[in-house]
Amino acid sequence: MELLSTTETAALRRVLEAQPTTPAKIEFAWRMSVGPALDRATKTEWRDGVLRVRADGDAWKREVRVARSVLLRRMQDLLGPEVVARIVIE
């Protein structure tokens, strides 16, 4: 038996795989990976496998920095490992 979250991620990944890789797709995956509060507190820019994240204030920047490895793994689970290779916090 699979966990619902595992099934949910796999289903979402299948849907995303069918779509072209665009900034909107990356932003959607970010929203799904971080949740609504952190999404509202950050802006992202994706280019050449690097996701640049700008946070609103030092507290949010610290949150992203602490969670960076988990967030990267979530993004890669949704998009594949080649789409977002690393996260840079600005």
Q: Where are the domains of the chain?
A: 4-89
- Tell me yes or no: is domain 4-89 CATH 3.40.50: no
Q: What angle do CA 80, 20, 33 make, to 5 degrees?
A: 45
Q: Where residue 35 falls among pLDDT bands split at 50, 70, 90? A: very high
pLDDT at 5: 61
Alpha carbon distance 22, 5 (integer Å): 25
pLDDT at 10: 81
Q: Where residue 73 falls among pLDDT bands split at 50, 70, 90? A: very high
Global pTM value? 0.86
pLDDT at 9: 80
Alpha carbon distance 75, 80 (integer Å): 8
**Three-state secondary structure of the chain:** CCCHHHHHHHHHHHHHHCCCCCHHHHHHHHHHHHCHHHHHCEEEEEECCEEEEEECCHHHHHHHHHHHHHHHHHHHHHHCCCCCCEEEEC
